[in-house]
Amino acid sequence: MHNLKTEGLPVHVAIIMDGNGRWAKLQGLPRAQGHAIGIDSVREIVTATRDLNIPYLTLYAFSKENWSRPKEEVKILLKLLGYYLEMELPLMMEKGIRFNLLGEISDFPKRLQTQLLDVMDRTGKNRDLLLNIALSYSGRREILHVVSAMIEDAKQGLIKKIDERTFSKYLYTKNMPDPDLLIRTSGEMRLSNFLLWQMAYTEIYVTHTLWPDFRKDQYMEALTEFSKRERRFGGIKEN
């Protein structure tokens, strides 16, 4: 199927799924259609990740800033999210995928909140792949939440030391390794407020492919490129 060795694979992949609108425009379709087809890419990438035994996948689906889009588009995105959760639950159960939300659940309509909590609950014991979906997510907000929670705990004498380890325990991604690889589709060279703390040493891969066209082959290309990267973490090359 693929000739990538497990040692060369990332443990945690993060993806900024961008370019749905441009994809639709190129096809002469409404933007909503780009988002809808984007779901097929999500399914394909989630399945491939699971099949490769990569244990963590984090997908950026909706940023805090995306609420500023036209009402109609936001409405469609929320509808597609509900649809996705409903349609994909059986696959998550079958493939041992645990769904987890990164972001501010209280921003969503009540019904969707219930649905999100339900899917997290039902898939909570699955252990083969942890699928984080970032929804109403902002990296800066996440850091601010950490700071407030730490101040509260410090007041109660619960914090002994303020260091990176302690800080990480307050993030949405507590107990997860930082992403090894960030993929961004559609050619944009920016983070757009995604996982600011966690991506200090993440390898970045940007492709011009638009998200609805990003499928298994394109994913394998990204993983192959990653396997050739030399990570130094500030050190020097050995040998």
Chain residues binding ligand IPE by CB under 6 A are 16-22, 60-63, 66, 77, 186, 188, 190, 192, 211
Q: How far is the CB of 20 from Mg ion (least distance, A)?
A: 7
Q: How far is the CB of 25 from ligand IPE (least distance, A)?
A: 7
The single residue of 18, 178, 180, 213 carrying the catalytic annotation is 18
The CA-based angle 23-24-28, given to 5 degrees, is: 120
14 makes contact, choosing from ligand IPE, Mg ion, none, with CB < 5 to 8 Å by partner type, with none
Q: Is 100 noted as a catalytic residue in this protein?
A: no
CA dihedral 114, 115, 120, 121 (to 10 degrees): 60
Q: Which residues contact 72 (CB under 8 A, 6 or more apart)?
A: none
- Answer yes or no: 180 catalytic: no
Least gap, CB of 139 to Mg ion (angstroms): 16
Nearer to Mg ion, 24 or 181 (CB): 24
**Dihedrals phi, psi of 148, to nearest 5 degrees:** -60, -45
Angle between the N-to-C axes of helices 31-51 and 216-228, in degrees from 0 to 180, rounded to the nearest 10: 60
The residue number whose beta carbon is nearest to Mg ion equals 18
Calpha distance 221→25 (Å, rounded): 25
Among 18, 88, 178, 213, binds Mg ion (CB under 5 A): 18
Q: Which of 66, 107, 126, 193 is catalytic?
A: 66
Residue of minimal CB distance from ligand IPE? 21
Q: Which does 77 bind (CB under 5 to 8 A by kind): Mg ion, ligand IPE, none?
A: ligand IPE
Which is it for strands 12-16 and 181-184: parallel, antiparallel or unpaired? parallel
From the list 204, 239, 214, 236, the residue with the least C-alpha distance to 10 is 204
Active site residues: 18, 66
Binding site for Mg ion (CB under 5 A): 18
